[in-house]
Structure 1
Amino acid sequence: MAFHDSAWIRFLRQYGPVPTNDNMYDEFIQKAARSKKLSPVSFSAEYLDELIDNFKSDAPISVILTGTAGDGKTYYCRQIWMALGGTEVAWTQKNKIRTLRLSANRDLIVIKDLSEFSAEEAQIFLPQIAACIDRQNTEKVYLIAANDGQLMEKWRDIAATPQISKVRQTIENLLVNEQKEHPDFSLRLYNLSRLPIRRVFPRILDAVLNHEGWQHCEQCPFRQPTTSAQQCPIWENKERLQNDAITRERILQLLELCELNTIHLPIRQLLLLVSNILLGHPNTKEHLMTCKDVAQIIDNGDTAQGSLYRNIFGENLGKRRRQSTEVFVALNRFGIGNETNSNVDNMLIFGQDDPAQEENYQRFVLADTYYGADHSFQSQQKAYLEGTTTDNSEKFLSMLRAQRQRLFFTLTPEAATETKLWSLTVFQYAGDYLEIIEKLRQTGKITSKQSLARLVQGLNRIFTGLLAHEAEHLVLATSGSHSQARVCHVLEEYVSVSKKSGTYVILELDHNERPLLTVSLGKEDGLQVPLHLQLTRFEFLCRVAEGALPSSFSRECYEDILSFKTNLLRQLDYRRKLDDDDPDAELNLNMIYLDNDGDIKESSLEVQFS
Structure 2
Amino acid sequence: MIGYIYLSLITLIMNYNSTFKKSKWITFLRQYGPIPRNDNMYDEAIQRALKKNKIQPICFETPYLQELIDNFQSDFPKSVILTGTAGDGKTFCCREIWEKLGGSKEEWETNQEIYKLPLLQKTLIIIKDLSAIQDEEKTQLLPQIAEGIINPYHTDKVYLIAANDGQLIEAWNVAENTPQIEKARQLIETLLVEEKRENPEFNLLLYNLSRLNNEEIFSRILDAVLNHPGWEECSQCPYQTPTDSQQRCPIWENKTRLDGKNDQQLMRQRIIDLLELSRHKGTHLPIRQLLLLISNIILGHPDVKDKLLNCNQIPKITTQKTGYLASPYSNLFGENLSSRKRNKTDVFVALRYFGIGTESSNYIDNILIFGEDDPDLKQDYENLVLTDTFYGAHQQFRIAQKSYLESNDSQDSKEEFLNILHTQRQRLFFTIPQHRVAELKLWELTAFQYAGDYLEQVCRPLKQNQTIPKYLIFKIVKGINRIFTGLLINNQDQLVLATSGSYSQAKISRVFEEYISVIKKRGESVTVELNTDHNTPDFIISLSSHPEVDPIKLRLNLTRYEYLNRVAEGALPSNFSQECYEDMLAFKTRLLGQLNIRRQKEEEADETEASEMIIRLLELNADGIANERTLEIQL
Q: TM-score, normalised by structure 2?
A: 0.94
| Correspondent of 2:244 among 209, 227, 239 | 227
Aligned to 2:438: 417
Q: CA deviation at 1:120?
A: 2.5
| Correspondent of 2:52 among 35, 43, 49 | 35
1:512-548 deviation per Cα after TM superposition (whole angstroms, max 9, x unaligned): 2101000001112342000001100111101111111
**Does residue 596 of structure 2 align to residue 579 of structure 1?**
no
Structure-2 separation of matches of 1:202 and 1:94: 31
> How does 1:587-598 map onto structure 2 within 5 Å?
587-598=613-624
Aligned to 1:122: 138
**Does residue 96 of structure 2 align to residue 79 of structure 1?**
yes
| Correspondent of 1:432 among 453, 460, 482 | 453
Aligned to 1:542: 565
Q: 2:82 is paired with a residue of what secondary structure?
A: strand
Aligned to 1:527: 550
Aligned to 1:384: 404
1:95-122 deviation per Cα after TM superposition (whole angstroms, max 9, x unaligned): 221111113x410000011111233322
Structure-2 separation of matches of 1:376 and 1:386: 15
Q: 1:463 is paired with a residue of what secondary structure?
A: helix
Aligned to 2:3: none
**Does residue 414 of structure 2 align to residue 393 of structure 1?**
yes
1:213-264 deviation per Cα after TM superposition (whole angstroms, max 9, x unaligned): 1111112110111221110000000001012411000000001100010011
Structure-1 separation of matches of 2:531 and 2:155: 37
Q: Structure 1's 283 and 172: CA in aligned 2 closer, same or farther, altered over 3 A?
A: same
8 Å CA contact 2:443–2:452 kept in 1: the answer is yes
Structure-1 separation of matches of 2:556 and 2:218: 23
Q: CA deviation at 1:596?
A: 2.7
> How does 1:263-282 map onto structure 2 within 5 Å?
263-282=283-302
1:80-139 deviation per Cα after TM superposition (whole angstroms, max 9, x unaligned): 000001011211223221111113x41000001111123332221111101111124340
Aligned to 2:255: 238
Structure-2 separation of matches of 1:164 and 1:489: 56
8 Å CA contact 1:449–1:472 kept in 2: the answer is no
Identity of aligned residues (%): 54
Structure-2 separation of matches of 1:413 and 1:212: 31
Q: 1:108 is paired with a residue of what secondary structure?
A: strand
1:375-434 deviation per Cα after TM superposition (whole angstroms, max 9, x unaligned): 211121111111025225110111111110000000001222111000000011100100
8 Å CA contact 1:338–1:401 kept in 2: the answer is yes
Q: Show structure 2 runs of 5+ residues with no match.
A: 1-15
**Does residue 387 of structure 2 align to residue 370 of structure 1?**
no
Aligned to 1:259: 279
Q: 2:514 is paired with a residue of what secondary structure?
A: strand
**Does residue 313 of structure 2 align to residue 293 of structure 1?**
yes
Aligned to 2:106: 89
Give the letter for the 1:510 counterpart: N
Give the letter for the 1:348 counterpart: L
Aligned to 1:506: 527
Q: 1:515 is paired with a residue of what secondary structure?
A: strand
Give the letter for the 1:588 counterpart: I
Structure-2 separation of matches of 1:163 and 1:577: 45
8 Å CA contact 2:400–2:413 kept in 1: the answer is no
Structure-1 separation of matches of 2:583 and 2:174: 35
Q: Structure 1's 524 and 153: CA in aligned 2 closer, same or farther, altered over 3 A?
A: farther
Structure-1 separation of matches of 2:237 and 2:348: 31
Aligned to 2:150: 134
Give the letter for the 1:519 counterpart: I
Aligned to 2:185: 168
| Correspondent of 1:559 among 582, 594, 597 | 582
Aligned to 2:81: 64
1:294-350 deviation per Cα after TM superposition (whole angstroms, max 9, x unaligned): 111111111110010110000000110011000001100111001000110111111
Q: 1:373 is paired with a residue of what secondary structure?
A: coil
> How does 1:325-404 map onto structure 2 within 5 Å?
325-388=345-408, 390=410, 391=412, 393-404=414-425
Structure-1 separation of matches of 2:591 and 2:223: 46
8 Å CA contact 2:403–2:413 kept in 1: the answer is no
Q: CA deviation at 1:152?
A: 1.1
Structure-1 separation of matches of 2:314 and 2:200: 59
**Does residue 591 of structure 2 align to residue 568 of structure 1?**
yes
**Does residue 165 of structure 2 align to residue 148 of structure 1?**
yes
**Does residue 365 of structure 2 align to residue 314 of structure 1?**
no
Give the letter for the 2:595 counterpart: L
Give the letter for the 1:50 counterpart: E
Aligned to 1:303: 323
Structure-2 separation of matches of 1:360 and 1:449: 35
Structure-1 separation of matches of 2:135 and 2:619: 64
Aligned to 2:13: none
Runs of at least 4 residues of structure 1 off by over 4 A? none
Q: 1:470 is paired with a residue of what secondary structure?
A: coil
8 Å CA contact 1:222–1:232 kept in 2: the answer is yes
Q: CA deviation at 1:272?
A: 0.1
Structure-2 separation of matches of 1:585 and 1:162: 60
Structure-2 separation of matches of 1:132 and 1:213: 44
Q: 1:310 is paired with a residue of what secondary structure?
A: helix
Q: More deviation in 136-145 or 396-405? A: 136-145
Give the letter for the 1:559 counterpart: E
Q: More deviation in 289-298 or 573-582? A: 573-582
CA RMSD of aligned residues (A): 1.3
Structure-2 separation of matches of 1:240 and 1:389: 37
8 Å CA contact 1:496–1:503 kept in 2: the answer is yes
Structure-1 separation of matches of 2:554 and 2:204: 32
| Correspondent of 1:599 among 619, 625, 633 | 625
Q: CA deviation at 1:600?
A: 0.6
Q: 2:461 is paired with a residue of what secondary structure?
A: helix
| Correspondent of 2:474 among 453, 460, 466 | 453
